[in-house]
């Protein structure tokens, strides 16, 4: 008799839990527009290069890239989209201009409420660097998002610290750490001020933390991307 009552109570409790779970998921789907409701999620569009795409954690980038981690932190009322382009440059004269890419075109169609831009590391490659072209390209990209009908809040993120693992003037891929540390950051701050943008100094946050990087001194491991997502989360929230 005891076991019969216990079993009935157990299954009732299980049924209640299942019903609540179904209602919770249905609510999420409705507010996301999947069940006929209006999609009310706040759309966060992440624009950038391989540091946005998730190089360094390629096998687990759907979990460990900074936009994926940011999605987890912000929760289901937000929709975070990753439009990172590996090797992408802000400059139109760079070896792979972001503004000419499919990622850029898709990002403009994403109806963003918030845009997070982190572009510049590839611009400092010895084959790419031109301060005037970087500023012009970054300004043009910023202006294109500010002109969208959704009138998003734009966060301009200064490119993070990087280093040469061999201790030479050039880091991997021809990137110039000295330019990243100085001129690149000054230009990003100037653009942020000119357009009255929210500015995030990712260089200051990551400087000297070599243990957060992969063996190339440029890309991050999952702990590094965790720090980037924490920093951007704090800025947004």
Convert the pLDDT of each residue in 96-108 to its tens digit: 999 999 999 999 9
Same-domain check for residues 27 and 139:
no
Q: What is the model's pLDDT at position 32?
A: 52
Same-domain check for residues 125 and 65:
yes
Q: How confident is the model at residue 225 (pLDDT cuts 50, 70, 90)?
A: very high
The CB-based long-range contact list for 130-134 (8 Å cut-off, 24+ gap) reads 130/91, 130/93, 131/183, 131/187, 133/91, 133/92, 133/93, 133/94, 134/90, 134/91, 134/184, 134/187
Same-domain check for residues 63 and 82:
yes
Same-domain check for residues 33 and 111:
no
Q: What is the model's pLDDT at position 46?
A: 99
Same-domain check for residues 27 and 88:
no
**Angstrom distance (rounded) from CA 65 to CA 61:** 5
Same-domain check for residues 196 and 113:
yes
Indicate which CATH number applies to the domain containing 227.
Answer: 3.40.50.1110
Same-domain check for residues 3 and 71:
no
| Model confidence at 77: pLDDT above 50 | yes
- Residue numbers of the domain that contains 14: 1-39
Same-domain check for residues 105 and 201:
yes
| Model confidence at 28: pLDDT above 60 | no
Phi, psi of 170 (to 5 degrees): -100, 140
Same-domain check for residues 222 and 159:
yes
| Model confidence at 15: pLDDT above 90 | no
Burial (CB count within 10 angstroms: exposed 0-12, middle 13-18, buried 19+), residue 102: exposed
Q: How confident is the model at residue 38 (pLDDT cuts 50, 70, 90)?
A: confident
- 133 phi-psi bin (left φ>0, alpha ψ -120 to 50, beta other): alpha
46, 66 Cβ separation under 8 angstroms: yes
| Model confidence at 33: pLDDT above 60 | no
Q: What is the model's pLDDT at position 17?
A: 39
> What token pair was written down for 110?
């994403």
Same-domain check for residues 179 and 193:
yes
Q: What is the model's pLDDT at position 109?
A: 98
| Model confidence at 175: pLDDT above 90 | yes
| Model confidence at 16: pLDDT above 50 | no
Domain count, the chain: 2
Phi, psi of 77 (to 5 degrees): -80, 0
Same-domain check for residues 8 and 124:
no
Same-domain check for residues 16 and 56:
no
| Model confidence at 4: pLDDT above 90 | no
């Amino acid at each position: 008799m005891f076991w019969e009552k216990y079993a009935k109570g157990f299954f009732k409790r299980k049924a209640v839990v299942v019903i609540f779970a179904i209602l919770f998921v249905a609510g999420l789907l409705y507010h996301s527009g999947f069940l006929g409701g209006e999609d009310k999620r706040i759309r966060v569009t992440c624009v950038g290069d391989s540091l946005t795409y998730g190089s360094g954690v390629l096998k687990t980038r759907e979990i460990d890239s900074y936009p994926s981690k940011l999605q987890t932190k912000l929760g289901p009322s937000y929709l975070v989209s990753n439009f990172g382009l590996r090797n992408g440059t802000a400059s139109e004269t760079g070896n792979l201009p972001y503004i000419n890419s499919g990622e850029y075109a898709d990002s403009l169609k994403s109806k963003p409420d918030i845009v997070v831009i982190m572009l510049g590391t590839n611009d400092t490659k010895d084959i790419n660097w031109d301060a005037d072209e970087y500023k012009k390209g970054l300004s043009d990209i910023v202006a294109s998002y500010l002109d969208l009908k959704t009138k998003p809040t734009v966060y301009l993120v200064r490119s993070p610290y990087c280093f040469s693992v061999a201790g030479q003037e050039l880091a991997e891929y021809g990137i110039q750490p000295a330019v990243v540390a100085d001129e690149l950051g000054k230009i990003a701050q100037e653009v942020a001020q000119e357009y009255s943008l929210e500015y995030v100094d990712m260089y200051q946050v990551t400087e000297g933390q070599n243990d957060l990087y992969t063996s190339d001194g440029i890309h991050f491991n999952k702990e590094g991307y965790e720090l980037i997502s924490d920093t951007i989360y704090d800025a947004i929230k």
